[in-house]
Amino acid sequence: MAKEQTQEHMPFDWAESTGNQGVALRLLAERRGDLATAGQALAQITAAFETFLEEHHMSATDYEAQVPIARALVERLRKP
């Protein structure tokens, strides 16, 4: 039986799963021009980054680089 990777019980596993899903969502949003998906991607990538940063985990830098990319996509898709 698979166990749920909650943020409280397994913060690094949760952050990695959430962040990787965020990166995948960003790629989908970019291909589809989907603002809602881009916003979800930004939220997930930011959450992963903040979790790793709080724990001084070296993976923080991986997601730190993704945050501005996701933010730029959201801003680009918001423009009419």
pLDDT of 57 reads 82
Residue 56 clears pLDDT 90, i.e. is over it:
no
Mean pLDDT of 18-26: 97
Mean pLDDT of 56-68: 90
pLDDT of 60 reads 87
Mean pLDDT across the chain, nearest whole number?
A: 91
Q: pTM, whole model, 2 decimals?
A: 0.87
Neighbours of 10 (CB within 10 A): 14
